[in-house]
Amino acid sequence: MLQRKYKTFVKAFVCALAVLQGTDNLFAQQQLSLAESKELALKNNHRIGKAREDVTASRSEKQIADVTAKPKIDASATAFYFGEPLNTMLPEYGFAPMVSVTQPIYTGGKIKYGKQMAETNIEMSIAQQRLVEDDVLLATETAYWIVVQAKEEIKMEQQVKKQLASHYTFLNNQFQAGIIYKNDVLRAKVLQNENEARLQAAENKLIVAKKRLIQLTGIEQTDIDVVGTLSDDEFRNHEMLQSTQAHRPEVDLATSAIKMSELTKNMLRADLKPTVGLSLNGMAAFGKEGINFGDPTKNSMLTYFGMLSVKIPVFDWGSKREKVKQQEANIRSAEYGLKELQSQINVEIEQATLNLQLQANNIDLMQASLIEADENLKLSNDRFQAGTITGEDVLIAETLWQRAYSSMLDAKVRYKIAEAVYHKAIGQIKQ
């Protein structure tokens, strides 16, 4: 009996362990590369999704514009009942279905311009989608490298924490033995407190950066991790900058806006022209005798009629012509805006290029500083062990090393972000 209970307990324990392992796998961190992060952002980001739906809506608008010139068929039905005294003059009750066909014949070009405007609207919505995608991708790359930076800062501060703890223990032992003064121990304790504050700040920075990356990529995991690093191998060959012709969605958007303004001007001019429309209608009526006006003895009727409408603008105090002039001024204003935008983009590219070169140079400088700080720390430890310098000198060397390492991390992240800004400036951030 006891053996059977023991077997049952073992089985339950194994099942529970399997469930826990499955739960661990379920909530395991998703490892993301930079390329995967950008791909997820393009697929799941809410801003991009909104822009994508705007493109779909503009395509539907184009389909609507394409059928404007085609005839439209409508059907309607009316039932009626008249009481006294109207039923003495009209049929007392009846039912009248009707079918009508309307066809625009001449609209002054409005239908043609409407189709062109719908097509241009698609171009504008696509350019707007590209603009949103570029903004989101830049934000994604920035968030990605900030996550990497925060992880590296945590590693560094944890390493510094171990070094300071070891150094504090050594100094405290020497103080207890009466070899050194207490102020050396207090300096080490101050550095430990500063290190703990920096470590907590780096951990908070990592949490916020991960949340930002999750929001941009649109994934549902509560926690993620990135596979990118700030190793020297990734920065060994700085990007060779070459002059390139930028293809920016802002230019496409502004160009399409000018085109839309031109079409709007043509539509306003079309308001000065006459419009002609044709309508054909067929009607039936069923009810009490007398509903057929041609033969009052019948209780049904079939008939048809056609209508031709012509609308000619005659006089409006010149308001329509002023609208055309107003639109022409708007077009000239938009053209100046496009030229200004192109100038701004050229300046932006130049600025991004110079900044990227600056950050590349900073990496080289910070790398040299880190090598020197590392060598200085090793020499300081050796000289301290030999008794030729004080503990204060070692603490200064450790502080210099920490600053040099932190500056190196910052320089590498600044370079990566500057690289993304440069690619966005030349319209190649998706590559």
Of the candidates 312, 338, 369, which is a domain's last residue?
A: 312
Look up tokens 């002059």; give the residue: 243
Query: What pLDDT, in 10s, does the model give residues 281-336?
Result: 999 989 887 788 778 778 888 989 999 999 999 988 989 899 999 999 999 999 99
Say if pTM beats, i.e. exceeds, 0.85: no
Q: What are the percentages of helix, strand and coil residues in the chain, rounded to 5?
A: 70, 15, 20
Name the residue range of residue 84's domain.
69-106+274-312
- Give the chain's domain count: 2
pLDDT tens for the chain, 431 residues long, are 434 433 443 344 334 334 334 434 434 567 899 999 999 999 999 999 999 999 999 999 999 999 998 999 999 999 988 888 887 778 888 899 999 999 999 999 999 999 999 999 999 999 999 999 999 999 999 999 999 999 999 999 999 999 899 889 988 998 898 888 888 889 889 999 999 999 999 999 999 999 999 999 998 877 889 998 887 666 655 555 555 667 899 999 999 999 999 999 999 999 999 999 999 999 998 988 778 877 877 888 898 999 999 999 998 898 989 999 999 999 999 999 999 999 999 999 999 999 999 999 999 999 999 999 999 999 998 898 888 888 888 889 989 999 999 999 999 999 999 999 999 999 999 87
CATH number at residue 278: 2.20.200
CB 201 within 8 A of CB 329: no
Of 175, 151, 294, the C-alpha closest to 227 is 151
- pLDDT value of position 236: 56
Backbone φ and ψ for 6, nearest 5 degrees, come out as: -65, -45
- pLDDT value of position 233: 64
Q: How far apart are CA 250 and CA 346, in angstroms?
A: 13
219 and 78, same structural domain? no
112 and 230, same structural domain? yes
73 and 40, same structural domain? no
CATH number at residue 205: 1.20.1600.10
Residue 306 covered by a domain: yes
Residue 278 covered by a domain: yes
Sign of dihedral through CA atoms 413, 417, 422, 426?
positive
Where are the extended beta strands (E) located within 33-151? Answer: 72-81, 93-106
Residue 24 covered by a domain: no
In this structure, how many other beta carbons lie within 10 angstroms of the beta carbon of residue 405? 22
Residue 17 covered by a domain: no
Q: In percent, how much of the chain has pLDDT > 70?
A: 90
Question: What does the chain come to in residues?
Answer: 431
- Which helix (H) or strand (E) segment holds residue 90: the answer is none
210 and 84, same structural domain? no
3-state secondary structure 215-270: HHHCCCCCCEEECCCCCHHHHCCCCCCCCCCCCCHHHHHHHHHHHHHHHHHHHHHH
CA distances from 328 to 111, 245, 261, 263, 332 (A): 21, 30, 8, 11, 6
| Neighbour-count burial of 63, counting CB atoms closer than 10 A to its CB (0-12 exposed, 13-18 middle, 19+ buried) | exposed
Specify the 3-state DSSP secondary structure of 342: helix
379 and 301, same structural domain? no
Of the candidates 312, 331, 363, which is a domain's last residue?
A: 312
Of the candidates 312, 340, 365, which is a domain's last residue?
A: 312
Residues 6+ apart with CB under 8 A from 278: 102, 103, 104, 105, 306, 307, 308, 309
